[in-house]
Structure 1
Amino acid sequence: MQLDTVVVGHATVDVNVLPHGVIENVLGGAPTYAGFALASLGREVGIVSKIGQDFPDYFPPLFSKFGLNTEGILVTRGGTTKFENTYTEKGEREQVCEEVADPIVPGDIPQAYLNSRSFYFSPVMDEVSPKTLSRISDEENVAMIDPQGLFRRIEDSGEIRLEVPKNFEDYLSQVEIVKIGKDEFRAFGRSEEEVLESLSGMGPDVAILTLGEDGCKVFSDGKVTNIKSLSVEAKDLTGAGDVFGASFLSNYLETGDPTDSARFATAAAGLKIEYKGPTGFPSKEEVKEML
């Protein structure tokens, strides 16, 4: 069976410190938020991830319960990637990384996944290399990347600082779509339009900048389109970027329209953040009703 999308990146176990309370032992990472979002939209999804033997036993069955193919989840001797995420009332985030799982190498992608219609790469801590992307290089599929984890560097304190990766073009030359958030945008020190044009110039057909409550900007065919966000009561912003990215890719597979897909993704992410933790992922019908 051909999968619609394969999600590549570390599953994490997080502590989320929110303005209204603390949530511990939260399942996170792209396999969780992008994987569950895609499944809720009716997609057939596979996961590629590395986890440690410390990964809680009650988490893996959740992936199967959502209908995700878990052939690409590998258990290693190392630990599972762990973050402490602290959010302000305005959605600003400070991160501390407590542990990083082993990197994902080309051979970790199962042979059965290679004919997937699309791939969504979303590393959280530099666990994916350009060689891993080249494993799926194929004109028949669509590749999208959220490079958040490529920007992250761990200080001695465990705190995260962001910088533009020196080999960024080696990644972007292999994908059709790139999406960055406002944290990664600040690392460039340039205007929004300049950054989007620069990203597109490295290879992608579509470059996206998400701006939280200010919506997003989409660069395609030489022009920038502004998309407004939904007015919602945000209860947990964790994973919103991956929900946006996964929802964009899901709609893009159907329409090939970046602007329409960005509107769809903005609505999906807005509906999701009304719920805490990895719950409340909207269906395709719910997103279209909101639109």
Structure 2
Amino acid sequence: MTIPDYLLIGHMTRDVLFDGSYAPGGTALYAALTARRLGRRVGVVSARAAIPPDWSADIAVAFAATMDAPIFENRYTPQGRVQLLHADSGVLTLDNVPAAWRSARIVHLAPILAETPEHLVNAFPDALLGMTPQGMMRAWNAPFPAPITYQPWDPPPHVLARIDALVLSIEDVRFDEALAHAYARYCPIVALTRGAAGATLFIYGEPHYIDACPAIERDPTGAGDVFAAALLVRLDETGDPLEAARFAACIAARSVEGVGPGAIPYREDVER
């Protein structure tokens, strides 16, 4: 089994499509493919899920045997998007992570349904620790299918202080930029992405604007997850948050120019 240097912890999902079929999805899927295409050895810890056709065979996966992937559906109405949950899953613990994987250089907590409890931030003391907290901001109630609603995520300062890089979108915080500022009081690096409008990178609380790279958008799905993985990879390589954010913006822009995870670029494409 591959010993990863980029470890993702978070459920891959089953997404209901408009015709009733299913497609794999989730932050872990998009971030894993990004990290692999940037040359990293990748491992994913998730509930049992289908693997997409363009999955890299050398990405190692440790499925939690007692859990099935959560199932999401997006419905678009005149009042906006409604996200429904058809099935939830369980919480991931350190026991779900193979012992040999726990020394990964980069650990990315990628919850989709609050499945990575906050105490996991202390389980990898020597890693560059990133988090995409979108899944900590979701609430739902049975019976299924159940609408997903927003709930604020208010972690204690010591949790934020241990996270080296926090990546979230303006939609994640319901356009409340003050929330990103609050996280940046304690978290060393906070990236607030805005799609084609660029991003704000907070470095120890100081905001820096990051331009979006020009792109012809065909499918924005997963762009924030691609940005997060590219940021962490480049931050590990250079130690320079601004350079890492510009690199991530370029990777994310390329990823939206095609449909699905197959559009995520390889490093050689980006360098060219």
> 2:236 aligned with 1:246, yes or no?
no
Identity over aligned pairs, percent: 28
- Matched residue of 1:248: which SS? helix
In the alignment, the residues of structure 2 paired with residue 87 and residue 260 of structure 1 have an alpha-carbon distance, to the nearest angstrom, of 37
Aligned match of 1:141: 127
Aligned residues of 2:230 and 2:251 also touching (Cα < 8 A): yes
Aligned match of 2:12: 11
In the alignment, the residues of structure 1 paired with residue 179 and residue 55 of structure 2 have an alpha-carbon distance, to the nearest angstrom, of 36
Aligned match of 1:82: 71
In the alignment, the residues of structure 2 paired with residue 82 and residue 110 of structure 1 have an alpha-carbon distance, to the nearest angstrom, of 25
Q: 1:68 aligns with which of 52, 59, 62?
A: 59
Aligned match of 1:39: 36
> 2:144 aligned with 1:159, yes or no?
no
In the alignment, the residues of structure 2 paired with residue 237 and residue 61 of structure 1 have an alpha-carbon distance, to the nearest angstrom, of 19
Q: Normalising by the residue count of structure 1, what TM-score does the alignment of the two structures yield?
A: 0.83
Aligned residues of 1:104 and 1:132 also touching (Cα < 8 A): no
How far off is 1:288 after superposition? 3.0
How far off is 1:186 after superposition? 2.0
In the alignment, the residues of structure 2 paired with residue 175 and residue 2 of structure 1 have an alpha-carbon distance, to the nearest angstrom, of 23
- Matched residue of 2:114: which SS? coil
Aligned match of 2:200: 217
Q: Which runs of 5+ in 2 are unaligned?
A: none
Q: 1:271 aligns with which of 236, 247, 254?
A: 254
The residue type equivalent to 2:132 in the other structure is D
- Matched residue of 1:184: which SS? coil
In structure 2, relative to structure 1, the CA distance for the partners of 1:87 and 1:5 (3 Å cut) is: farther
Q: Which runs of 5+ in 1 are unaligned?
A: none
1:20-52, Cα deviation, whole Å (9 max, x unpaired): xx694211112310001111111111111112x
Aligned match of 1:107: 95
How far off is 1:2 after superposition? 5.3
Aligned residues of 2:167 and 2:193 also touching (Cα < 8 A): yes
How far off is 1:236 after superposition? 1.8
The aligned length equals 267
- Matched residue of 2:237: which SS? helix
Question: RMSD of the TM alignment (CA)?
Answer: 2.4
The residue type equivalent to 2:102 in the other structure is L
How far off is 1:133 after superposition? 2.7
How far off is 1:16 after superposition? 4.8
In the alignment, the residues of structure 1 paired with residue 266 and residue 42 of structure 2 have an alpha-carbon distance, to the nearest angstrom, of 15
Aligned match of 1:256: 239
Moved more, 222-231 or 244-253: 222-231
